[in-house]
Chain A
Amino acid sequence: MLYAILCYDSEDVVGSWTKEEDDAVMAKLAVVQQKLADKGRLGPVARLLPTTAATTIRKGREPLVIDGPFAETKEQLLGFYVVDCSTLDEALDTARDLARASSSAGAFEIRPLSIFRPGSLTT
């Protein structure tokens, strides 16, 4: 089963990390990612730009384009992973590993995927 691990955190807090702090967190996360990649379990990984760079299209008869993210929430979706796990427990373990590597106050939402196309991007 493929799971998406969606990373939620306070953009204010993450945004106030210094470059050194940010780099340190990314380095720790890279270790966890490498372990998954070595087992062939790591799909695409993305870190999103701040929500201020987002534009939302609200669906409707005449779709409405609005600035900013869809909802004004305390924690924002900052990025996501797609990982291959045989059980939810395994997906939770993976998320715990990631949480230990970046112990800020946010949350990970673990959502099974229904459709996955790896795409043709080579970055």
Chain B
Amino acid sequence: MTDIAWIDAALTSARPQALGALLRYFRDLDMAEEAFQEACLRALRHWPQNGPPREPAAWLILVGRNVTLDQVRRRSKQETLPDEAVISDLDDAETELAERLDGAHYRDDILRLLFICCHPDLPATQQIALALRIVSGLSVKQIARAFLVSETAMEQRITRAKSRVAQADVPFETPGAVERAERLAAVAAMVYLIFNEGYSASGAAEVARAPLCDEAIRLARLLLRLFQAEPEIMGLTALLLLQHARAAARFDADGNIVLLDDQDRGLWDHKMIAEGLALIDKAMRHRHRGPYQVQAAIAALHARAARPEDTDWAQIDLLYAALEALQPSPVVTLNRAVAVSKTRGADAALAMIEPLAARLSGYFHFFGLKGALLLQLGRASEARAAFDRAIALANTAAEAAHIRRHLDRLIKDSAAGDDARASS
């Protein structure tokens, strides 16, 4: 790896901690971002000559703070900026600062930085855009590409989100235990949202949005390093890893959806699976169940099955039942019905989802599953009606194409049936 690539990686990984600390100093997001930017520019000049500092984050915080304070002073007194070497000469100060960084602050700094992005006034897409811009440091162009909007539109979206956040009163004192737990839960939910934005994409959008999944995993790992003993953060990280491990197998060469049962399990990323399984095992030891852990446990059962027929559907049914208790939702019940169809048959599954019809009347997957179950039961014309409805509700071209393949087969089968009757 070249020096520049190493510096780039070091700046990226130091970003949340450095920006979080600068935000605490200046209590102003724009100012903190400018300070970080200045510090990065200086790092690019100094590090190749003098070698990387022992503590990149500490270096960036101190330089960012000094530069900004000097600029403020200069603006107020119209003085000239001190010599560059003075600003960036940190040999002595760095050691002292590094020791302070080891202390309690940086964890809350990073959490605060993430937390301001998930302000409840912001719609989900703005939360995600803001987090990707501020915490992950993606460029507006990269984020715009992921959301399939123009750079100008994304720039506006982020500016609006920032001004909304600036008006919000985020306390800068060290949070108490309860508040910290609440912040952590909100941030975890946002990381999950970022992942889903990437995960639910398909076709051309899949390529553009795949980095969202990587970013979400990176943020989850960051949270996990800050909160090493939190079972739900272990569960969240495990869940994202286990889902993303299947990425290469989820679509065929033409961008069509490949269902779990039909996926080439050799294409799954086994390193990600190993990490996900290790994390869910660790989480379970805490005996403190939460929705992310349960979902990760379900994903783990799929990951552990070498072949689709090895899947422990009975256990998955139980886990979905646990998830229904923790987080009641018709979508969870719908997913449970898939497991039920494998263990108790399509009849039982259909009976389970029929009461959901009113609440899921606009939900693609409801009609997709309903059609598939009806098809298994040989109720072809009802299946067809459900599939038609699913196509009308499809969110992506790949979803629509997937259902259309079912329909085509139905039509072909019924044509074959007609032929058979005609010839008999």
Contact = CB atoms under 8 A, between A and B. Distances in A.
Q: Interface range on chain A: under 10, 10 to 19, 20 to 34, or 35 or more?
A: 20 to 34
A87 interface: no
A52 interface: yes
Q: Interface range on chain B: under 10, 10 to 19, 20 to 34, or 35 or more?
A: 20 to 34
A78 interface: no
Contact of A74 (B2, B55, B224, B234): B55
B12 A67 contact: no
Interface stretch (A38-46, A90-98, A101-109, A112-120): A101-109
A15 interface: yes
Given A16-B9, A67-B229, A25 B1 contact: yes
Given A15-B13, A21-B5, A49 B221 contact: no
Nearest to A105: B52
Contacts of A66: 229
Contact of A53 (B9, B54, B218, B279): B279
Residue of A49, A53, A72 ringed by the most chain B CB atoms within 10 A: A53
A50 B1 contact: no
A17 B102 CA distance: 24
A5 B10 CA distance: 24
A68 B61 CA distance: 27
Contacts, number: 66
Interface in B224-275: 224-225, 228-229, 234, 237, 271, 274-275
B218 A52 contact: no
B6 A53 contact: no
Interface string A52-79: 1101000000000111100010100000
A1 interface: no
A24 interface: yes
Contacts of B3: 103
B229 to A, nearest CB: 5
Contact of B237 (A11, A52, A68): A52
B278 interface: yes
A13 interface: yes
Contacts of B279: 52-53
Contacts of A49: 271, 274-275, 278
Contacts of A102: 1
A105 to B, nearest CB: 5
Nearest to A19: B214
Contacts of B282: 53, 55, 67
A16 B228 contact: no
Contacts of B2: 103
Contacts of A105: 6, 10, 52
Given A25-B1, A67-B228, A53 B278 contact: yes
A21 B228 contact: no
Closest 5 pairs (CB-CB, A-B): A12-B13, A68-B228, A53-B278, A16-B13, A67-B229
Interface of B: 1-3, 5-6, 9-10, 12-14, 52, 54-55, 102, 218, 221, 224-225, 228-229, 234, 237, 271, 274-275, 278-279, 282, 285
